[in-house]
Amino acid sequence: MNKVETAEILSVLKAAYPQFYSNIGSAEANKIVNLWAEMFEDESLRDVALAVKSMLASRTNTFPPNIGEVKAQLVKMRTPNEMTAQEAWNLVAKAIRNGVYGSQEEFQKLPKNVQRLVGSPQQIREWALMEADTVSSVIASNFQRSYNVRQQSDKEYAALPSSVKQMVTGLADRLAMGDGT
């Protein structure tokens, strides 16, 4: 969104929460528009408007949503059928049942985000060779915890403006090459 579009969004929020915005001067309003425009530079007016309006329809508190809440709503709108940790584990458990001899094939059947957490076909095989009680309790619990952490991390990264993502990617590349400066 550009600054004009951002001002449109903020005018909707001002109409919905007039008391909150009543004592804001033009200099402060400019700063707010600039910040929101920067944070939503990669988003379309349509998407942000839908996110804000859906929040206005469902929120009951007296404060307007902040940038992070609107970003979270955008992510939620874009991933309505997101797999739960239990559903992901059920796919892994199914792969483990055929994992002694078919770990490679079973690993390939898993969605990419689940493959990333499992790591390799060898891990499927190792879990298949373990006691079933250990797999269904300890391994399942650890996997689901890791899945939830990774999903949260992915959501937070998705909410970042592209300029911040580029900076993070550049820093990660430098660290990978051994240049931590």
Q: What's residue 99's pLDDT?
A: 92
Task: Give the separation between CA 160 and CA 71, rounded to whole angstroms.
Answer: 9
Residue 179 — φ and ψ, nearest 5°? -105, 85
Given a contact cutoff of 8 angstroms between Cβ atoms, the answer to whether 74 and 43 are in contact is yes
pTM of the model: 0.70
Q: What's residue 179's pLDDT?
A: 62
Task: Give the separation between CA 152 and CA 181, rounded to whole angstroms.
Answer: 28
Domain residue ranges of the chain, discontinuous segments joined by +: 3-78, 85-158
pLDDT digits (tens, 9 = 90+) for 117-127: 999 999 999 99
Q: Is residue 161 over pLDDT 90?
A: no
Please give the share of the chain, as a percent, with pLDDT higher than 70: 98
